[in-house]
Amino acid sequence: MNNRLSRTGADEGRPVPPNGRMGNIMSKRAMVLCLLGGLALSLGMTADGCGGVGSLLNFRGPPAIIPNVPDGDTFTRTFTVDLRAYPETHRINWDFGDGGMLNNMTVSTGRTVSHQYTGNGVFNVRVHLFSAADPINGTPAAFLATGSIPVEVRGPNVAPTAAFVFSDVRDSEDNLLPLSRRFNASTSRDPDGVIESFAWDFGDGTSDVGSNVVHEFPRSGRFVVRLTVRDDRGAASNVTRTVLINALPTAVFTFTQDPNNALRFNFDATGSTDSDGNIVRFAWDFADGQTGEGATISHTYAEPNDYNVRLTVTDEVGASSSTTRLVDVVGTDVFVRSLNPDFGVVGTTVTGIIATGENFVDGAIVRLTRNATTIEGTNVVVQGSSTLTFDVDLRGAPLGDYSARVINPDASSDTLDNAFRVVTANRVRLSTTLGDMVFELVDDAPITTANFLQYVTDGFYNGTIFHRVVPGFVVQGGGFLPGNVQPAGLRPPIQNEFSPSRSNVRATVAMAKLGGDPNSATSQFFVNLADNSANLDNQNGGFTVFARVVEGMDVVDAIAAVPLNGEQPITDVIVTFARRE
């Protein structure tokens, strides 16, 4: 080994220490420099200088990749690989970190390459070097080394998109603040960065900043609001929207009955006001299918009734508000509106039936009629011009719907069709979207049957669904509306009235209840599709059978056969109406 380091002059002219000590030092330094690869070459070490160390460790460090820094933002990048540590390189492969590659490049074409990226990001660029095969010595081409470098790519900046919405503002007591609006720019977007600023011009000489702001305008009117957004690389865009600021008008009206026609009313909306403009339209809905327009207007009703008349006023910029008032049209002729109760059990006397209407006069009589059957009301008491009470004796009365007719002493009369229904004591008809079924109630479960009949009378079951279907077991309903929404009007649970004499066999109807609580039945019921007595008679205190299906078991079976999602029909089977039969 030479007694000085080549080209540096660091040890030039110094003698070699005795016993070869400097030689040992030089050998160690050469090994370190060879391990540093490219650094060793920069200090002047030749490949021969590495000698056996290079062949022993075969390590010269990774080749350096030199990226060309472009002027401005661009997706194109140029890379050069430093081959000074690998002069034997014959082929070059590039991997640009985004899926793009260049393979089997010659040194002349692969030393410096360019690549077009498609988006922003940081990409790990790698280069792989390979030697040439030596056909004389039979040496194959060999992998030499891999170099890599992270490269940040920022293409041309895409401007952000400005967008905003606005909404009403209310105070802490939920009162509308008519001159204020909330502006929200959170729907603005920047596809290749972030929005750093939101600047507002409200078109009234004022401005603000922020993505979510509240602004009070000085007056009513139309204002062109401009939002300007700017991204993290300086690009900006804006959007404008016209905002209507307007205090709502106030709708007010009065009405009087025409002195010459009890069915005719005069309506006056001139008391309506608009604090910041003028009302240009008065629209009326008289609640009888008729409408009209005008600040003052008259309307004649066809018959007495209670009508919710609605007035809508609109100002010159299109803002509107409404008000509704009840108009009691009594007319001069007798008029029947309703009966309560509207049913009675055959064979009984129903007392205190209340008839509501108009122009009842002392001495009026009441008759219920169905085909050739007439039932005279007794104990008729006119409590006022709009209310009277009476009793009816339903012994021997045919079942079905009856019309109610009230006749004043002057022979004027009015008839309400299907006003009253004569029913059995123990039958209920359920009309469903797949057909009708009739339940006949038992006479030894009074709590349960009274509970069921009250739900029927209340109209609770109307619109409910059969929410549970288990083929070969039960069809269950009475608890939910479509969407599994529970109806209003659920009453407290009732006492269990199970009896071994009323078993859960096919076509019987029983109350559903919560597991582990025999006294938890409310509104839900089920129809047994099979003989379930061995199971349901001995479970949870026994399930109370309170009725049996006497008509329409084929409808029940049809419900049991519908397509299911688990235990719930895919298409709702709805109870359209439940009534006493």
**How far apart (Å, rounded) are the C-alpha atoms in residues 255 and 270?**
11
94, 113 in Cβ contact below 8 A?
A: yes
Which has the minimum average pLDDT: 16-20, 224-228, 284-288?
A: 16-20
pLDDT in tens, 431-456: 999 999 999 999 999 999 999 999 99
Q: What is the dihedral of CA 300, 303, 308, 310, to 10 degrees?
A: -20
Answer whether residue 442 is part of any domain. yes
| Per-residue pLDDT at 445 | 97
pLDDT classification of 73: cutoffs 50, 70, 90: confident
Together in a domain, 447 and 518:
yes
Q: Report CA 245 to chain centroid distance, whole Å.
A: 30
- Report the 10 Å Cβ neighbour count for 14: 10
CA distances from 422 to 16, 86, 425, 488 (A): 133, 109, 10, 27
Q: Say yes or no to pLDDT of 343 above 70.
A: yes
Alpha helices in 414-481 (DSSP H): 446-458
Together in a domain, 306 and 267:
yes
Look over the chain and give the mean of its residue pLDDT values, rounded to a whole number. 89
Answer whether residue 32 is part of any domain. no
Which has the minimum average pLDDT: 322-326, 332-336, 370-374?
A: 332-336
Q: Which residues constitute the domain of residue 530? A: 427-580
pLDDT classification of 275: cutoffs 50, 70, 90: confident
Together in a domain, 431 and 410:
no
Give helix then strand counts, H and E, for the chain: 7, 40
Alpha helices in 10-106 (DSSP H): 21-35, 38-42, 47-57
Together in a domain, 206 and 135:
no
Together in a domain, 189 and 293:
no
**Contacts for 574 with CB less than 8 Å, ≥ 6 apart:** 432, 433, 463, 464, 465, 482
| Residue 171 tokens, joined | 């105070």
User: Domain total for the chain?
Assistant: 5
| Per-residue pLDDT at 376 | 97
pLDDT in tens, 393-416: 999 999 999 999 999 999 999 999
Together in a domain, 323 and 339:
no
Which has the minimum average pLDDT: 122-131, 241-250, 487-496, 531-540?
A: 241-250
Which residue would you say has higher pLDDT here, 201 or 246? 201
Given the DSSP bridges, would you call strands 343-345 and 413-423 parallel, antiparallel or unpaired? Answer: parallel
Secondary structure E strands in 408-502: 413-423, 427-432, 435-441, 468-470, 474-477
| CATH number of the CATH domain containing 214 | 2.60.40.10
Answer whether residue 194 is part of any domain. yes
Q: Say yes or no to pLDDT of 297 above 90.
A: yes
pLDDT in tens, 30-43: 444 334 433 333 33
Q: What angle do CA 529, 532, 534 make, to 5 degrees?
A: 170
> Which residue among 387, 407, 423 closes a domain?
423
Answer whether residue 12 is part of any domain. no
**How far apart (Å, rounded) are the C-alpha atoms in residues 533 and 547?**
15
| Residue 525 tokens, joined | 């019921």
| Residue 101 tokens, joined | 């590659």
Which residue would you say has higher pLDDT here, 413 or 318? 413
User: Stretch 262-272: mean pLDDT, rounded?
Assistant: 96
Answer whether residue 468 is part of any domain. yes
**Contacts for 324 with CB less than 8 Å, ≥ 6 apart:** 308, 309, 310, 311
> Which residue among 361, 393, 423 closes a domain?
423
Q: Say yes or no to pLDDT of 164 above 50.
A: yes
| Residue 69 tokens, joined | 């820094």
Together in a domain, 376 and 520:
no
Answer whether residue 159 is part of any domain. no
Secondary structure E strands in 82-220: 89-95, 101-106, 112-116, 121-131, 143-153, 165-170, 176-184, 195-201, 207-209, 212-216
**How far apart (Å, rounded) are the C-alpha atoms in residues 5 and 44?**
9
Query: Can you list the pairs that 558-562 forms with residues at least 24 positions away whose Cβ atoms lie under 8 Å?
Result: 558/434, 558/435, 559/432, 559/434, 559/466, 559/469, 559/475, 560/469, 560/471, 560/472, 560/475, 560/529, 561/471, 562/434, 562/469
> Which residue among 184, 214, 245 closes a domain?
245
Secondary structure E strands in 171-295: 176-184, 195-201, 207-209, 212-216, 221-231, 236-245, 254-258, 261-268, 279-285, 291-293
Tell me the helix, strand and coil percentages in the chain, rounded to 5: 10, 45, 45
388, 335 in Cβ contact below 8 A?
A: no
Q: Which residue has the tokens 């960065």?
A: 193
**How far apart (Å, rounded) are the C-alpha atoms in residues 185 and 165?**
7
pLDDT classification of 316: cutoffs 50, 70, 90: confident
As a whole number of Å, the CA-based R_g of the chain is: 47
- Report the 10 Å Cβ neighbour count for 445: 23
Answer whether residue 554 is part of any domain. yes
Question: What DSSP assignment string belongs to 505-571?
Answer: -TTEEEE---TT-TT-B-S-EEEESS--HHHHTTSTT---EEEEEEE-HHHHHHHHTS-EETTEESS
pLDDT classification of 23: cutoffs 50, 70, 90: very low
388, 404 in Cβ contact below 8 A?
A: no
Q: What percent of the chain has pLDDT over 90?
A: 79
Together in a domain, 437 and 413:
no
pLDDT in tens, 209-261: 999 999 999 988 889 999 999 999 899 999 999 998 888 899 999 999 999 99
Together in a domain, 306 and 378:
no
| Per-residue pLDDT at 534 | 96
Q: Which residue has the tokens 């899926």?
A: 99
**How far apart (Å, rounded) are the C-alpha atoms in residues 318 and 341?**
48
Answer whether residue 544 is part of any domain. yes
Together in a domain, 81 and 140:
yes
| Per-residue pLDDT at 59 | 65
Together in a domain, 278 and 339:
no
**Contacts for 285 with CB less than 8 Å, ≥ 6 apart:** 291, 309, 310, 312
| Per-residue pLDDT at 3 | 36
| Residue 139 tokens, joined | 């040496």
Which residue would you say has higher pLDDT here, 1 or 514? 514
CA distances from 575 to 377, 489, 523, 580 (A): 34, 16, 14, 14
Q: What percent of the chain has pLDDT over 70?
A: 90
Q: What angle do CA 113, 115, 121 make, to 5 degrees?
A: 130
Together in a domain, 128 and 181:
no
| Per-residue pLDDT at 26 | 39
Highest mean pLDDT among 146-160, 173-187, 343-357: 343-357
